Amino acid sequence: MNNKPHIIVEPTADGSATLFVKELDEHYHSVKGAITESQHIYRDSAFLHRSDGTPIRLLEVGFGTGLNAVVTAMVADEQHPVHYISLEKYPLEAQLLTTLAHDAIVDPTLLRAIHDSQWNTPIPITPYFTIEKRISDYLVDPLPQSIDVVYFDAFAPDKQPEMWTPKAFARLYDCLNIGAVLTTYCAKGEIRRLLSSLGLTVERLSGPKNGKREILRATREK
């Protein structure tokens, strides 16, 4: 993908909009439902599953539209405090984020605060949700350490295979605390085996309603 890809806004089946990248022939979210995917795969199956009242350090691979971030911010509270670090190599233009109209389906004040927050520094959005958006190449730049939750939301393996290699996952594994969980929408056998080969315990979970049949959750048990 070059720095100025051709990106258009498209509706998804649950009424929330996503983006389509023509050069990659790829969407930012499931066409079966963008917000449904964020809530089920990332918020519920990873963050709320792992959250135990202690502050969570969360790493998102691919900030994109910020939908996963705001969906998480909306449930962050005294019982679920989180430092949310999100990596993005190609930040989207503000105009595109406005056209998506995600402010109609999430807390608009939180969404705006997340979108307006400065890059490359931690910014407290609420007492329980701090965002740290990093303009960063996941494959090259140093990764944050001591991570409890990973939202692995890269473009699909057939569209961006370099994000899904054994080498890249081995580097990610080294950032994980014991007990850390990673979820992703991709349940391919090849990815499942790769995560297992690193020593992670991998579960296949049901996908979002009306969406993908299965998703993956990988846990670092030791």
Which residues of the shown chain bind ligand SAM in the complex (CB under 6 A)? Answer: 28, 62, 64-65, 67-68, 87-90, 137-139, 153-155
Q: Which two tokens stand for residue 217?
A: 């959750």
* 177 bridge partner residues: none
Question: Among candidates 42, 59, 56, 54, which has minimal Cα distance to 144?
Answer: 59
Tokens of 122: 């931690």
Task: Name the minimum Å distance from CB 221 to ligand SAM.
Answer: 26
**Nearest alpha carbon to residue 178 among 143, 201, 148:** 148
- Nearest to ligand SAM of 27, 199 (CB atom): 27
Decide whether 54 or 92 has the Cβ nearer to ligand SAM: 92
CB of 53 to ligand SAM, least distance (A): 25
Q: CA 36, CA 42: separation in Å to the nearest integer?
A: 10
| Pairwise CA distance, residues 195 & 20, whole Å | 28
Q: Which is nearer to ligand SAM, 80 or 84 (CB)?
A: 84
